């Protein structure tokens, strides 16, 4: 019976009401507004219901497309293997990997296909959210932003004040472009959780990214990974506006940034292997929350995620002089 069911681990991890103000971007990266959101996934009497209240403040045709003027509320078949969305607002499914869920689903009201990645980061007190929006395989826009969770929003004035201050900060920070340090060399360092293709946690891997700017638009990076996954790659990176490229020798590919978020695909030279990544700079210290998916022989091999913290080194692009 439904009453005998227990909530999944993911469902327990997201208990509470989440508050955010994700930004809305056109496909070319233009920031066109915000979406004030309250949402919760609630387990009751053996059933899971996801509700979401949205209020868009945007310009252009995407405003008309996404502001439908009604609370969203839809059923979820909850499990730690698949979370299946049963409508009427969303149809599709999400795949949990510990504190991260990667979802693919369709919204009839918005007439859009979404890839949504939600990553709960307890050490930062945040959920890092993004949705890439598609018409078939054609990208039409992006939502992204940070969320905080509350258990007493309606009853506690201090909680409401804290949330309001967070949302105001989100509006100020959301349009900041994705930039890594442009003048200082240094190291990004952190530990990622690793899940295999059966959604089993198989351990952790230490990630070290050695970063050295060459000029204001180019840098060389060496990624070293050790633990469950052991790899080492070097690539030349360049950035032109929101367009990013990786020029080898070990990784070749490109990416596109939408505010603080960079979505990339990098191919490993000489192997049937590529790395899909979503990387989010969450503060002015270049703290970066990452989700890296390893794809081998066209199949998902590992989902990894974690926080990289920046350790600055020397200023390699100090003022130039001609005597």
Question: 62-103: per-residue pLDDT in tens?
Answer: 899 998 888 999 999 999 999 999 999 999 999 999 999 999
Is residue 178 pLDDT above 90, yes or no?
Answer: yes
Residues 36 and 148 in one domain: yes
The verdict on residue 45 lying in a domain is yes
CA pair distance 237, 182, nearest whole angstrom: 12
Residues 153 and 251 in one domain: no
* Residue 112's CATH number: 2.40.128.20
| pLDDT recorded at residue 4 | 63
Q: Please provide residue 239's backbone torsions phi and psi, each rounded to the nearest 5 degrees.
A: -130, 130
In the listed set 173, 192, 220, which residue is the last one of a domain according to the structure? 173
The verdict on residue 125 lying in a domain is yes
Check: CB of residue 198 under 8 Å from CB of residue 82. no
Contacts 24+ apart (CB under 8 A), 170-174: 170/20, 170/21, 170/145, 170/146, 171/21, 171/34, 173/260, 174/21, 174/22, 174/23, 174/31, 174/34, 174/144, 174/145, 174/259, 174/260
Domain count, the chain: 2
The verdict on residue 287 lying in a domain is yes
What's the rounded mean pLDDT across residues 13-33?
94
Is residue 272 pLDDT above 80, yes or no?
Answer: yes
Residues 18 and 163 in one domain: yes
Residues 238 and 306 in one domain: yes
Q: Which range of residues forms the domain containing residue 138? A: 2-173
The verdict on residue 264 lying in a domain is yes
């Amino acid at each position: 019976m439904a009453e005998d069911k227990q909530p999944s681990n993911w469902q327990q991890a997201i208990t509470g009401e989440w508050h955010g103000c994700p930004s809305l971007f056109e496909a070319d990266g233009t920031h066109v507004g915000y979406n004030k959101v309250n949402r919760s996934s609630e387990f009751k009497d053996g059933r899971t219901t996801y509700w979401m209240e949205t209020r868009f403040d945007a310009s252009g045709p995407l405003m008309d497309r996404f502001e439908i003027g009604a609370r969203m509320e839809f059923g979820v078949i909850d499990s730690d293997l698949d979370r299946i969305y049963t409508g009427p607002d969303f149809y599709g499914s999400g795949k949990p990997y510990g504190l991260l869920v990667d979802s693919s689903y369709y919204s009839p009201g918005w007439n859009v296909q979404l890839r949504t990645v939600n990553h709960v980061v307890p050490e930062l007190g945040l959920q890092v959210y993004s949705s890439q929006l598609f018409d078939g395989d054609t990208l039409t826009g992006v939502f992204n932003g940070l969320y905080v969770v509350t258990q007493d929003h309606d009853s506690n004035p201090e909680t409401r004040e804290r949330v309001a201050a967070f949302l105001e900060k989100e509006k100020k920070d959301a349009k900041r472009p994705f930039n890594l340090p442009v003048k200082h060399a240094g190291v990004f360092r952190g530990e990622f959780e690793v899940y295999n293709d059966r959604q089993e946690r198989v351990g952790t891997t230490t990630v070290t990214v050695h970063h050295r700017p060459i000029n204001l638009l180019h840098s060389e990076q060496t990624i070293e990974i050790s633990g469950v996954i052991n790899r080492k790659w070097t690539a030349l990176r360049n950035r032109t506006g929101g367009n990013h490229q990786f020029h080898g020798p070990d990784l070749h590919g490109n990416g596109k940034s939408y505010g603080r978020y960079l979505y990339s695909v990098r191919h490993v030279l000489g192997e049937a292997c590529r790395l899909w990544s979503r990387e989010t700079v969450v503060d002015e210290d270049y703290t970066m929350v990452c989700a890296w998916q390893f794809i081998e022989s066209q199949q998902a091999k590992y989902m990894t995620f974690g926080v990289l913290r920046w350790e600055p080194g020397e200023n390699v692009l100090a003022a130039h002089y001609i005597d």
